Amino acid sequence: MSAAIALPGNTAATFLTHFFGPGLADDRYVVEKFRALADGNIRRCSDPAPKGGRRRAAKAVTATLKAVKEMRPAPNEIIVCTGLKTRGGVQYWGSVSTSLFCDRRQKG
């Protein structure tokens, strides 16, 4: 069985939570999403485009405290939520991005 078939889908409860600064002390948070690639690199996901045909740039996505507590990352996703006032927040790391299920051997 290949590793891709054995890994759970987005409904899995296996992820790493890391609090930084004062933690979840704000009302609103800036949400950034990243993808962990197979070669070990981490890339930022593109922000959603603005609605309509306007020419302004997309703004950063903000979320409430309730929405931040309910977020769950995909297995290869990292979600960083930073508070607008205190700059504290939380990071959610998926199981693949934390290498929880990897049997990686170092070369050299």
What are the strands, taking DSSP E only, across the chain?
15-20, 28-36, 42-44, 61-64, 77-83, 89-94
Cα(96)–Cα(81) distance, rounded to whole angstroms? 19
Report domain extents, the chain.
14-41+58-100
The whole-model pTM stands at: 0.72
Residues forming beta bridges with residue 32, ordered by sequence position: 80
Read off the pLDDT of residues 17-72 as tens digits, 9 standing for 90 and up.
888 888 888 889 999 999 888 777 888 887 666 666 666 666 678 899 999 999 88
Q: What is the dihedral of CA 37, 99, 61, 86, to 10 degrees?
A: -140
Cα(44)–Cα(27) distance, rounded to whole angstroms? 24
How many CB atoms sit inside 10 A of residue 88's CB?
17
